[in-house]
Amino acid sequence: MNRFLMGAALLALRLSTGGAAECPELKTLRLANTEITVAEQVAAGAFVPAGTEPSAATLARFKSLPAFCRVAGAAHPTPDSNIRFEVWLPAAAWNGKFVGVGNGAWAGFIPYPSLIDPLNEHYAVAATDTGHEGDASDARFASDHPQKLIDFGYRAVHETTVAAKAVIHAFYGSKPQRALFSSCSTGGRQALMEAYRYPEDYDAISAMAPANPMVALMVSSLWTGSATAKNSASLLSPAQFELAHKAAVAACDARDGVIDGLIAAPLRCAFDPATLPLAPAQIAALRAMYEGPRNPRTGISILPGFERGSENLLPVQASGSGPFPAVASYFRDLVFSDPQWDFRTFDYDKDVARAQREHAGIVDIPPQGLGPYLASGRKLLLSHGWADPLVPPRSSIEFYQALPHAAANARLFMIAGMGHCQGGEGPYVFDPVATIDAWVETGRAPERIVVSNPANAPMRTRPVCAFPQEAVYLGRGSTDDEKSFRCDASGAR
């Protein structure tokens, strides 16, 4: 009997008797349509992703890692599928739980930094490249490869979850007592997709700024990137965006009852850029970004626009050079299959319908589709920064309001001043994994979470109240202290 078969036989014997495997033995673990390529023990602080040069800050985070068993593999549910994944398992003090994490944009690589925090908190954790390797702004991997688009759209995270649970069971000799998923942007969309298509995979999910509905979001980003690129007259410089931002904050800061440099109630802000010393085409561009794309034939909104208070962050996709690269690639390579495609020719009626017809069933999540997940008692934590410049914040509000069974098992938190997944002018740091873990553990839904500034910024904390409640200043105490606020259903007057 060769070495591999001996290892496989030993592992099978251990599993049949309820025993745990040694880390290297996991390389012989047999899973359907899946191969394990790496099973190695990693010493504390020794892991650095191969072929990368992480920043000093990220390298320091890797140095903080405890010893763990690293398992890497690939799932092949179809002949054209190659879904790479990694599972990291604490060598000691496992808390008995499992966390799945997601990706950004078009993925194409294992998001190693996202594995750090869960592992440091003693969770087993897993991630995938979603079935392809490449630049996250490049959608060409799916051109003429429909199975790879399906892998990206929904199948890869599920395959990774199934494999991760099997690896955990083999390594520890017991299944995870709880499974949680937490991520932002594309990862937030992946979280919702898991709840929609595979409601039994996770007990609770955190979806921050979910990039959903993805097809409409691609249209929204195209619209936003085009607003300042139609001609030279519509171009806005970063300084002009900053001018608009300061004017919007000055007009609407006090709407929530506190003057603190943040627009915490943007839905009550009617700031009009016509008051600014800008050219008519520049004012029209700002208004277009606030309004969002509409079907020119029906007048129906395709996706909400961006909020007053996000102007200083909008240059990330409204630089004047055209649509965001990940968006341009989607339309050029997947919708039109035309390397010479010109974004200025896009028809916001017929071309939107074409994109939705071809891809919405693969990458979009209808809120009504989460009925079985929520009805089963599983938990959904939605969160979104009000100043997000990439995914319109009101898209999360609309999704939440359309959810079935939302009152009991779903909560939405809108964070003042926060950008896309992080950053912005307001405090935004909180622990979504701990939040959903405690929700499952206690059965008590979070009605108020506390956000803070990152460690390198001045101390500032604020409560974020479950939507539609708002944080209202008590009239005493520091406005940089969350204890100086209460949650109120009616908001500030």
**Is 420 known to be catalytic?**
yes
Contact assessment for residue 84 and residue 74, using Cβ atoms and an 8 Å cutoff: yes
Pairing of strands 178-184, 124-128: unpaired
Q: How many residues does the chain have?
A: 493
Cis amide bond preceding 213, omega within 30:
yes
**Is 245 known to be catalytic?**
no
Q: Count how many Cα atoms sit within 13 Å of the Cα of residue 109 in the half-sphere of its side chain.
A: 15
In DSSP terms, 89 is beta-bridged to 69
Residue from 114, 185, 226, 396 carrying the catalytic annotation: 185
3-state SS of the chain is CCHHHHHHHHHHHHHHCCCCCCHHHHHHCCECCEEEEEEEEECCCCCCCCCCCCCHHHHHHHHCCCCEEEEEEEECCCCCCCEEEEEEEECCCCCCEEEECCCCCCCCCCCCHHHHHHHHCCCEEEEECCCCCCCCCCCHHHCCCHHHHHHHHHHHHHHHHHHHHHHHHHHHCCCCCEEEEEEECHHHHHHHHHHHHCCCCCCEEEEECCCCCHHHHHHHHHHHHHHCCCCHHHCCCHHHHHHHHHHHHHHHHHHHCCCCCCCCCHHHCCCCHHHCCCCHHHHHHHHHHHHCCECCCCCCECCCCCCCCCHHHHHHCCCCCCCCHHHHHHHHHHHCCCCCCCHHHCCCCHHHHHHHHHHHHHHCCCHHHHHHHHHCCCEEEEEEECCCCCCCHHHHHHHHHCCCCHHHHEEEEEECCECCCCCECCCCECCHHHHHHHHHHHCCCCCEEEEECCCCCCCCEEEEEECCCEEEECCCCCCCCHHHEEEECCCCC
**Is 185 known to be catalytic?**
yes
Residue from 183, 388, 395, 484 carrying the catalytic annotation: 388
Residue closest to 117 by CA, chosen among 430, 368, 484, 326? 430
Contact assessment for residue 403 and residue 433, using Cβ atoms and an 8 Å cutoff: no
Residue from 364, 383, 420, 437 carrying the catalytic annotation: 420
Q: Which residues are the active-site residues?
A: 185, 388, 420
